Chains A and B, each alone.
Chain A
Amino acid sequence: MNVWLQVLVYAVAAAGLVACVVLLVRDEAVGDRVYLTLAVAEVLLLVQVVTGSVALAGTGREVSGVLFVSYLVGVALVLPIGAFWSLAERSRAGTAVLALALATVLALELRLVAIWNGAGA
């Protein structure tokens, strides 16, 4: 697993989360900048699906393969679903959905790295 990619995922998702929380506190609408951040995070997560699968295929360490791939794909699905789910509610609650989606990505990414390092279900 590429450490730099992980760091980028953490950084972009955390930046998006902070931006959403600021918007929530100020009660402002989500603008293009947040959606751009979400898009960048999603691209990174899709790249991670590819590089993670390749790394899994080439590794000699004890990694639970099914678990790892399900987290790899799962973490890439959260943002599209969250963004879609928030669109129908363009209020504070919709911004909260985006914040929750980004927090979920951070949590799943942490678990993904733990599973790569040998953790079980």
Chain B
Amino acid sequence: MPETAPRVTTRTELASGWGRALVFVYGVFAVAATGRSLVQLGTDADRAPLAYALSLLAAVLYLVATTCLVLGGPRARSVALAAVSVELVGVLGVGALSYAAPELFPDRTVWSHFGQGYGFLPLVLPFAGLAWLRSRSSARARRSR
């Protein structure tokens, strides 16, 4: 299909179209989670070490996912895939654990109660990310042959 042949370079492939909206949300969460975990660890790290460590993990994953989505290209795509997968496991694991063993989470984190404090977006985001990364890979496969 030469008429649909991309002028789009590999650099922008993950942050174009609906990916742009996804990157924006990931960026907001990267900033929010980083800020929150730094404040929590800086002011009162001993109060809930596990919860705060998980906050920091979430922050790092959001930062990695945002960066990789912006960069684009095959390698960034696989790193983003790994980050988003860990994020999915994290939000499901922490979400379940915060209901099963609330004593582990005396303070709220991004992921506790499946991201309730953030409108459950942390639960939706990894699914959206995985769907987007999947659709991009099949789109590229269609284009290349």
Contact = CB atoms under 8 A, between A and B. Distances in A.
Most buried by A among B18, B20, B31, B35: B20
Contact of B24 (A74, A82, A91): A82
Interface in A78-97: 78, 82, 85-86, 88-89, 91, 93-94, 96-97
A66 interface: yes
Contacts of A100: 21, 24-25, 28
Contacts of B19: 93
Interface of B is mostly: helix
Contacts of A85: 20, 23-24
B39 interface: yes
B20 A86 contact: yes
B105 to A, nearest CB: 14
How large, as a class, is the contact surface on chain A?
Answer: 20 to 34
Interface string B84-121: 00000000000000000000000000000000000100
A121 B28 contact: no
Contacts of B31: 74
B92 to A, nearest CB: 23
Nearest to A85: B24
A67 interface: yes
Given A67-B39, A82-B24, A107 B17 contact: no
A121 B17 contact: no
Contacts of A70: 35
Interface in B1-58: 16-21, 23-25, 28, 31, 35-36, 39-40, 43
Interface of A: 66-67, 70, 74, 78, 82, 85-86, 88-89, 91, 93-94, 96-97, 100-101, 104, 107, 121
Q: Which 3 A-B pairs have the closest CB atoms?
A: A121-B39, A96-B21, A89-B20
Interface of B: 16-21, 23-25, 28, 31, 35-36, 39-40, 43, 119
